[in-house]
Amino acid sequence: MREDDDRRGEAFVGAAPAPEQTVAAVASGFRDEAGRVTAALTRRFGDYCLADDATQDALLAALERWPKDGIPERPGGWLTTVATRRALNRVNRDARYEGKLAFLGRPIETGGDDRLRLIFTCCHPALARDAQVALTLRSVCGFTTTEIARAFLASEAAVAQRIVRAKRKIRQAGIPYRVPAGRELGDRLEEVLAVLYLMFNEGHLSTGHAPPFRRNLSEEALWLAELVSRLLPADPEPIGLVALMKLHLARADARFDASGQMVLLQDQDRSLWRRDLTSDAIRLIERAAAAGEPGPYQIEAAIAACHAEAASFINTDWPQIVALYDMLIQLAPSPVAQMNRAIALRYVEGPRRALDELNSLEADLTGYHLFHAARGEMLIELGEVELARAARERALRLSRNAAERHLMFRRLFESMS
């Protein structure tokens, strides 16, 4: 197909704008449209992998054309037209689709939002976590392979390989394109939310050094969580996750100092916290709670809200936080939740009790850097300098994130001097 074909039938608006603005507009256009285009094509061709390839082709064509020609009046229509043509080209080349050509006369339905099916397919538990994240960013948010590689500081070849392998598995293992029903929905939704939260945290931990051109994973994850909560309005957990993300984002400006160093919660300048995001989140928590089905994300959001509403670290409602952790542990037992409960317990019953609780988790958390960091804090307060230093050394050795490593190093240095 000649490149010019892509322009036919689509009106362009005015003269070409400045390249940087275009790139930003192109990226946000992708986020709003890519998932819809992939979903519509999957419905039409009955093949997610084909639809994904064709949409990706269209996105790359847009990245090339739009900075020169300007943004089309209807970016979604442009992408759909180009992606459909690319898909038809692929189908014509591929004998596997011979029997299916008859279906292609049907017009693309525009009603309804099919992106939920897309999300459940990309986050299917039969795919590895890193593949789930990469596919979701690509198919639902319209990331190119290059952008995914940049976001995860991975090589493009590695990301491309991961996507190829995941799509081969979807096709060969018969992973369906559907929203699970009944009892299955709960488990599968948990998986989706876990993928989105991981994506969020990946962006959140690296915000200190994110170059401005990099699409922010936290914002994409928040956008996805809001989409899921809109498409599954009966379930309060997606709302809980949206609230939790907003509460984290509310503190984002205070988490790093001017030199890019990470600042702990107790040392953060609370005047930098975004009140608007906090009150948004609290409204969401109340809306979710009205459903009367508490879940892990709602409770974690409630814990984050306790911190957000406290005038200072020391005036935080710690007994309430411990009570919320008790609820969380009852609903979703995990050593990390128990660890966080122990840390909160420090401000209710003192460092000795907290340390005892932490020590009881040693077997499960011995490979987790924050466990040793927390032990280090308790040991320092108890005057156990030698032991504290050993714990901080382990914390440093186990942490991989650059900003966290820096902080751990500073702590270790303090306990040496």
- By beta-carbon proximity to other proteins, the closer residue of 111 and 182 is 182
φ, ψ at 50 (rounded to 5°) = -65, -45
3-state helix, strand, coil in the chain (%, to 5): 75, 0, 25
Q: What is the x/- site pattern for other proteins, positions 105-124, by CB under 8 A?
A: -------------------x
Ranges within 147-176 binding other proteins (CB under 8 A): 172-176
Q: Give min distance, CB of 167 to other proteins, in A.
A: 14
Contact 239, 300 (CB under 8 A): no
Q: Does 184 bind other proteins (CB under 8 A)?
A: yes
Q: Which one among 126, 153, 157, 272 touches other proteins, defined by CB under 8 A?
A: 126
- By beta-carbon proximity to other proteins, the closer residue of 48 and 223 is 48
Ranges within 248-267 binding other proteins (CB under 8 A): none
Q: Is 256 helix (H, G, I), strand (E, B) or coil?
A: strand
- By beta-carbon proximity to other proteins, the closer residue of 178 and 283 is 178
Q: Give min distance, CB of 180 to other proteins, in A.
A: 7
| Gyration radius of the chain's alpha carbons | 24
Structure letter (DSSP) for residue 368 = -
Q: Give min distance, CB of 124 to other proteins, in A.
A: 8
Q: Give min distance, CB of 125 to other proteins, in A.
A: 8
- By beta-carbon proximity to other proteins, the closer residue of 99 and 367 is 99
Q: Give min distance, CB of 128 to other proteins, in A.
A: 15
DSSP state string for 311-352: SSSTTS-HHHHHHHHHHHHHHS--HHHHHHHHHHHHHHH-HH
Q: Give min distance, CB of 176 to other proteins, in A.
A: 4
In the chain, DSSP finds a helix count (H) and a strand count (E) of: 19, 0
CA–CA distance from 383 to each of 190, 205, 291, 341, 347 (Å)?
A: 42, 31, 47, 22, 17
Q: Does 180 bind other proteins (CB under 8 A)?
A: yes
- By beta-carbon proximity to other proteins, the closer residue of 173 and 290 is 173
Spatial distance between the Cα atoms of 393 and 396, rounded to a whole number of angstroms: 5
Angle 219-331-400 (CA atoms, 0-180°, nearest 5)?
45
Binding site for other proteins (CB under 8 A): 124, 126, 172-176, 178, 180, 184
